[in-house]
Structure formats: C-alpha cells, structure tokens
Structure 1
C-alpha cells in the first residue's frame, strides 16, 4: 500500500518538478553508493572552460550533500515550492517554467564565478521559494510553530535559520538576488509606466514543452498550500 501511494504521488508530480527532484535524488544516491564523487560534480570554472567538463554546469545543481537532515530539508523545500510554482502560476505554461529554470540557472552560474560556492542547488531552491513567496504575498506561514509571518518573509526566515545552523548566508543571498531579478523582470517591470516584458520564452521551448490542452486527470497541488511540514505550514489570511 505504501509503495502504491508513493508511486501514485510520484506519477502525479508535474514533469519539470519530477525530473529535477529525481535527478537530485539519483545523484545523491550515486554519491552514497560511491559510483561517483562530489569532486566530479562541483562547480569549477577552470575545469569547465579550460578542460571542457561542461557537465559541471548542471551537476552542481543536483548535489545537496550526503544523505541526512540537510539533504532531506532541501529536498522537501525543493519539491514543495517547485511543484507549487509549476502547478500554480505556471500551470499550463511548462515552457515558461523551463525558461525560468534556464534563466535562473544561467544568472546564478554567472554570479557563481565571483563567489566561492561549489554547489548551487540550495541557492536555486531559495530562488524558487522567493518567487513563490512574492507571488503569494497573503499566505500566512508557520515556521516550526515558533514564528507566524506572511509568505514574502519566508526566504529571510530561512536565511536566519541557516545562519543559526552555522551555515554561510551567501547561498541564501544568491538565491534571493536571482529570484528577485526574475520576479522584477517578469512581474513588476512589465506593469510599470514605460515598462515592458523583457523575458520572452523562446518559441523552440514552447514547441517542445507546451501542450494544446491540460490533462483532464491532472491532480494539482494548490499553490496556496505550502504546509504539511511544521517549518513551512501556511494558509491564506482570512481563510
């Protein structure tokens, strides 16, 4: 029964979320089984551009450390907020969602050239959380049962939590910065006087990923329901 439930939940995940989380889990499993090592995955500009190890541009987003609390914490947040974005504001716009991944990944990689970070997956997760939080400003969050606040504060609360754990906040700041750039260009600037839409999804992505109509059996996860875990539970204000 448990296997059937997990399998059904996995198959109901939207395609981009399923592909990314699966790649992250399989990468971590491969490291745990010693099939590969983190030294083959990390972001290293010299190895990428001088030795043409271009796979590092992708693999550094797939490894979140050895299996443990930090990995589980990141996977839960990645799964929840990636899925809620894909099923919420990006519902029926898979190509636009893929373009957001590519834009965010490219920008983060460029910033990564100037900061001493070897894995960018956690920063990418914070970017997803930031974009979701800004698009759902009236959702009330409950963090570990200790803090109650509205969704736009979530990335900053996570940064504070990371600081308490003794981690560098550079990762969180990078995710917040890239998330804000995307949110500004996509949601704010087009609505300003004299503004316009600067981010346009290439037609080749639309041809590859967008389907004429939604799957009638699709079971979305409501974007306004980030809860289910004590550190990220939420509900709409007044609801």
Structure 2
C-alpha cells in the first residue's frame, strides 16, 4: 500500500509531475505563511515597474491553500496536462507549448483584462485544448448529466460561477482561457491543414536544422510501430509456405497415385475363365484350347 502513491506519481509524465509538485509546494508555503496570497498575484505594474519578476512564476503555481478545491484542481491538472503531454513525441516540445500558453495569458492579462492568478486560467486553457481535440468523449456530472467533452469548458465556467456565489460576470476574464486556447488550436492544428504549411507555433528549434531531426525521429517511431505490427507476418508467411508445401506434396502424391493407376490399367490381368481353363486338364491329355 505504501508504494501505490509513488507508483502513481511516477506514471505521470515529467512535465506534468513537475508542475503538480510546484503547485503543492506553493500551497504548502502559503499554508505555513511563508508566501502570502498577494505575493502570487500578477500585475504589470508590479512586474515591469517594480521589477518583481517572481510573480511571473508564482502566479502560475498558486491555486490557494490546501483544501478540497485544491485536490480537485490537482486531479484536473493530472488528467488534462497528462493527456496533452502524451501527445507530444518529446517533453521539450510540450514545455514549448506550456510556455506559449503562459506567455499568451500574460499578454492577455496585461493588455485585455487583469487576471491576477494565472494558474487556474492555464489549467482551463489546457482543458479547452483537450476538449477540442477529443470532442466526442462522453462526460458526466455526478452520474446525472451526460454531455460531450466539447461542452466541458462552458460547463466548467458555469460550475465556477455557482461555486463562487458571485453574480458579477466579467466575460473578458471568464472567457480568457477559451480565447487563448482557441487561438492555439487554430494556429497549431487548423492553420497548417488549411494552408498546407507548417504550424507557426511549432518550437523555435524546429525552424532550423533540428526540424529534420524531429521529423526523422517521428518517422523512425512510425517505422518501429509498423515493424511491431508486422512481427506476425513472417510467421504467417512461413505457415503459408508450409501449407503450400503440404499442398504440393498432396498434389505430388495424387499424381503418383494416378501414374500407378495408369500402370496397373496397362498390365494384362488374366481372365477368371483363363485361370479355370489352365487348371482343368483334358482327359485325353491334350491341353485345353486357349480361347482367342
């Protein structure tokens, strides 16, 4: 029983695991009083005018003190971050994706609407991206309401409004994650298909020589999968050869039987009357006349 949590943590991909540990660490710091809530707010004035650059990190890792809401948030992070990270061939590519989304949220909070705590918006952005890439997955709320995953971001907003008991609705803040996630989905997934080109949001190292290496790694990965699928083909081929050999032996045996049958037909078999005549002796001592 003591190894179950460790095994579960090690099954989580490295980037998601690091982010989860960072969220838990900041929550413990806030619980002990080392870090206050105001230390984890992002505002452009404090960051760029008073040079409090640590807020660029703390605002993404602070989700509040240890509580039931934090446990639910950790579950959502482990689920949707993990699902997205597993779609990338390399962890560094997923790091680039997270940095892009975090930078977009910082710009949105600076020029559109101040979001203060950016971590929950990053989590909702990941949730939106996952829902758009898996729109037909069946979801349920308390086993009572069934819906498709494409509606999950809107239901999450409604549930957040109900839980916060707040009636003041700021659409720029509420739809920040949807806007940022939709822009990422368009330029990373839809734009390359529509214009038959590379994604403008691909990692910076893919713009140069490392792109060939990445494509080669992906091609090698596909070849390995094809080889794994074709492991049974040589066995099937050998089985087919054995079957053909058996069929060939069967044909040869049939031909051999036909030849023997033909040879037997060409041999003159004496008639029963001839055998009887040969055995009968004429009383006069004269051999019986052969019937011609």
TM-score by length of 2: 0.66
Of 148, 151, 154 in structure 2, the residue corresponding to residue 156 of structure 1 is 154
Q: Distance in 1 between matches of 2:199 and 2:79?
A: 28
Say which is worse superposed, 92-101 or 165-174, in terms of deviation. 165-174
Is the 2:29–2:35 contact (alpha carbons within 8 Å) kept by the matching residues of 1? yes
SS in 2 for 1:149: strand
SS in 2 for 1:60: helix
Instruction: Tell me the residue number matched to 2:141.
Output: 143
Say which is worse superposed, 60-69 or 97-106, in terms of deviation. 60-69
Q: Distance in 2 between matches of 1:172 and 1:46?
A: 22
Instruction: Tell me the residue number matched to 1:76.
Output: 75
Deviation digits for residues 88-134 of structure 1, max 9, x if unmatched?
x22x2322211110110001011111323210111111100111111
Say which is worse superposed, 33-42 or 15-24, in terms of deviation. 33-42
Pair 1:110 & 2:112 matched = no
Is the 2:20–2:78 contact (alpha carbons within 8 Å) kept by the matching residues of 1? yes
Is the 2:188–2:202 contact (alpha carbons within 8 Å) kept by the matching residues of 1? no
Pair 1:44 & 2:43 matched = yes
Say which is worse superposed, 58-67 or 19-28, in terms of deviation. 58-67
Is the 1:163–1:169 contact (alpha carbons within 8 Å) kept by the matching residues of 2? no
SS in 2 for 1:66: coil
After TM superposition, give the deviation of residue 22 of structure 1 in Å.
Answer: 0.6
Whichever structure has more helix as a proportion of its residues is: 2
Q: Which has the higher contact order (CA 8 A, sep 6+)?
A: 1
After TM superposition, give the deviation of residue 169 of structure 1 in Å.
Answer: 6.2
SS in 1 for 2:138: strand
SS in 1 for 2:108: helix
> Larger Cα Rg: Structure 1 or Structure 2?
2
Instruction: Tell me the residue number matched to 2:194.
Output: 192
SS in 2 for 1:185: helix
CA RMSD of aligned residues (A): 2.4
TM-score by length of 1: 0.79
Pair 1:16 & 2:15 matched = yes
Of 86, 92, 97 in structure 1, the residue corresponding to residue 94 of structure 2 is 97
Instruction: Tell me the residue number matched to 1:127.
Output: 125
In structure 2, list runs of 5 or more residues that go unmatched: 222-292
Q: How many equivalent residue pairs?
A: 208
Q: Distance in 2 between matches of 1:104 and 1:191?
A: 21
Is the 1:162–1:169 contact (alpha carbons within 8 Å) kept by the matching residues of 2? no
Q: Which runs of 4 or more aligned residues in structure 1 lie more than 6 Å from their structure 2 counterparts after TM superposition? A: none
In structure 1, list runs of 5 or more residues that go unmatched: 215-239
